């Protein structure tokens, strides 16, 4: 008989002497705890990699937006250079699109409810001829991929100026001389003031 098939009772390294006496529940708990630690570490690594990817994509989107602005503001005499910039921007945009990433920089478009979900209104500029809120200047483009919004954009919004054909931007209670406590509280203050004057 092949001696390699002989069964021996000799001690083998790697096992703990007290495992045989350990309750099954304890062994199961230890195994689950180790599995939980391994899963947590994998998730941490995945999250770190996703953060790095998202930061890289946002960085590329910012460079794409900067190239477009550079090309738009180029001197007319430098038209070939502007075309080259736009070509580079187009290639960057295609690479991002292939990765499922969209760069949203809607300058000149109406500032709709849908855009409010992507672009923060960081400042307003009154424009007499404006027919409603529009995106006047994109300071930072919004970056969106298949999973959602990677980064909100920032923009200056053109609003109708006061006067014919337009209306002034909405005022807050503080602008009207009231408070931020709401109209009911302001009305109560006005009533108290009238009562004091009557006395």
The three-state secondary structure class of 149 is strand
What integer is the mean pLDDT of 175-198? 43
Contact call for residues 100 and 116 (beta carbons, < 8 A): no
The closest of 135, 138, 140, 160 to 151, measured between CA atoms, is 140
**Percentage of residues in the chain with pLDDT exceeding 90?**
31
Average confidence score pLDDT of the chain: 76
Q: How far apart are CA 105 and CA 60, in angstroms?
A: 14
pTM over 0.75: no
> What are the sequence ranges of the domains in the chain?
20-168
Other Cβ atoms within 10 Å of 144 Cβ, number: 19
Q: Which CATH architecture has domain 20-168?
A: Roll (2.30)
Q: How would residue 133 be classed by pLDDT, with cut points 50, 70 and 90? A: very high
């Amino acid at each position: 008989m092949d001696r390699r098939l002989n069964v021996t009772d000799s001690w083998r390294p790697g096992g703990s002497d007290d495992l045989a006496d350990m309750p099954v529940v304890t062994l199961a708990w230890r195994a689950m705890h180790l599995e939980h630690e391994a899963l947590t570490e994998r998730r941490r690594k995945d999250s770190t990699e996703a953060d790095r990817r998202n930061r890289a994509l946002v960085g590329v989107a910012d460079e794409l937006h900067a190239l477009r602005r550079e090309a738009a503001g180029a001197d007319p005499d430098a038209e070939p250079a502007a075309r080259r910039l736009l070509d580079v921007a187009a290639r960057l945009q295609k690479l991002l699109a292939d990765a499922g990433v969209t760069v949203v920089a809607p300058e000149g478009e109406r500032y709709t409810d849908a855009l409010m979900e992507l672009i923060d209104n960081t400042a307003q500029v009154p424009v007499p001829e404006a027919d409603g809120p529009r995106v006047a200047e994109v300071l930072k483009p919004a970056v969106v991929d298949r999973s959602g919004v990677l980064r909100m954009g920032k923009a200056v919004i053109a609003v109708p100026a006061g006067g014919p054909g337009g209306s002034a931007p909405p005022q807050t209670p503080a602008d009207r001389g009231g408070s931020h406590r709401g109209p009911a509280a302001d009305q109560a203050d006005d009533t108290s003031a009238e009562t004091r004057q009557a006395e």
